[in-house]
Structure 1
Amino acid sequence: MFRTRVKICGITQAEDALAAIDAGADALGFVFYPRSPRAVSVELAASIMSLLPPFVSKVGLFVDASEAEIQNVLTSCSLDLIQFHGDETPDFCNLFSVPYMKALRMRDGLDVAAAAQAYSSASALLLDSYKPGIPGGTGESFDWDRVPRELALPIVLAGGLTPSNAGAAIAACHPFAMDVSGGVEKAPGKKCTQKMTEFIKAVSRADRRED
């Protein structure tokens, strides 16, 4: 049976990170974007990561950061994957020794297949909702029917996901992974253990139905 992976993004506390892992999360996301309400310092992220068990992927999210800023994070944090959430070019994304996934905001007219070709060196494409001036974390979903059925890259679905719509999202577009943040929070950057558990259970139920 195929298992949809789950990434819990916007981790700002060690207790939330450990609760997410206990709930069954495959990956944790750390936001290195100062304007985000879920931003973490390099020092805090490194401290939380030092407590994590093996086989949990650590993902660093950046929005149009400089090469030096990203290298500074990589020096202190053992990231397994970089998530580029801005207007980074393929050449820029390839500057680092860590695999990456490229986030695309699903604005009208976006050609996902063309983007997949342009970012062919990526490990995955993350598809998120589009809202002018907001690079992510909108809390809004987009039309999942817009997700192409056949792409050369795995799809990570984001944007407005919650325990109540996770099953419908999987049924609609069969993503490789789900990326949730606000939908499992009690406040920005503060996760709700019950919601994280419910979300991952909803994903597991949907996977069984799809089998």
Structure 2
Amino acid sequence: MSRTRVKICGITRADDAAAAVRAGADALGFVFYAKSPRYISPKHAAEIMAAMPPFVCKVGLFVNAAPDEVRQVLTVCSLDLLQFHGDETPAYCASFATPYMKAIRMRDDIDVADAIKAYASASAILLDSYKPGVPGGTGESFDWARFPERNAQSLVLAGGLRPENAGAAIASCKPYALDVSGGVEAAPGIKCPDAIQRFIEAVSLADRRED
């Protein structure tokens, strides 16, 4: 059976990380962008990561961060993947000797294929909703008909996902993974264990239907 991976992003509390892992999350995201309501300090993130079991991917999210800032986080946190959500160039993204995922915000005028091709060195491409002045976490979805059918890289879907539409997202886009944050929260940065559980159950059900 093909399986859609799930990343729970915006982890700020150890209890939320534990709940996500128990529910079966494949990856947890930690936001190192000070303007985000889901920001976490590298020290606090490292403490949470230290309690995580093996085989759960630890992802660090950055937005137009200075290179030294990224390197400093890497010295504190054992990140498996970097996630860049700003205007970072391919050369910048590839400069940290760590696998990375590049977010592409789905503006109406963007050529998705060309944007993906520019980041050929990325381990994955995340397609997210576009909202002026907001680098992510908009809580809004984009037109899933624009999601590419096939690509050499792993394609991750984000934007407006929640337990109620996770199945439809998989049926429509057939992504490698879903990346959810606000859709499984009680408040920004505070996850709801029940919503996480229902989200992952919805993904599993959709995968079985696809087979």
User: Taking structure 1 as the reference length, what is the TM-score of the superposition?
Assistant: 0.99
Alignment correspondent of 1:13: 13
Alignment correspondent of 1:88: 88
Alignment correspondent of 2:134: 134
Give the letter aligned to residue 192 of structure 1: C
Q: Give the C-alpha shift of residue 112 in structure 1.
A: 1.5
The number of residues matched between the two structures is 211
Deviating runs (4+, > 4 A) in structure 1?
none
Distance 1:116 1:42 in 2: 29
Alignment correspondent of 2:172: 172
Alignment correspondent of 1:109: 109
Q: Give the C-alpha shift of residue 177 in structure 1.
A: 0.2
Alignment correspondent of 1:154: 154
What SS does the aligned partner of 1:53 have? Answer: coil
Alignment correspondent of 2:46: 46
Q: Does 1:145 align with 2:177?
A: no
Alignment correspondent of 2:209: 209
Q: Does 1:197 align with 2:197?
A: yes
Unaligned runs of 5+ in 1: none
Q: Does 1:58 align with 2:42?
A: no
- Residue by residue over 1:103-139, the C-alpha shift from the partner in whole angstroms, topping out at 9 and shown as x without a partner, is 0010012111111211000001000000000000000
Unaligned runs of 5+ in 2: none
- RMSD over aligned Cα, in angstroms? 0.5
Alignment correspondent of 1:2: 2
Give the letter aligned to residue 142 of structure 1: F
Distance 1:35 1:61 in 2: 12
Distance 2:3 2:152 in 1: 19
Q: Contact between 1:9 and 1:28, CA under 8 Å: does it hold in 2?
A: yes
- Residue by residue over 1:161-196, the C-alpha shift from the partner in whole angstroms, topping out at 9 and shown as x without a partner, is 000000000000100000000000000000000000
User: Taking structure 2 as the reference length, what is the TM-score of the superposition?
Assistant: 0.99
Q: Contact between 1:116 and 1:152, CA under 8 Å: does it hold in 2?
A: no
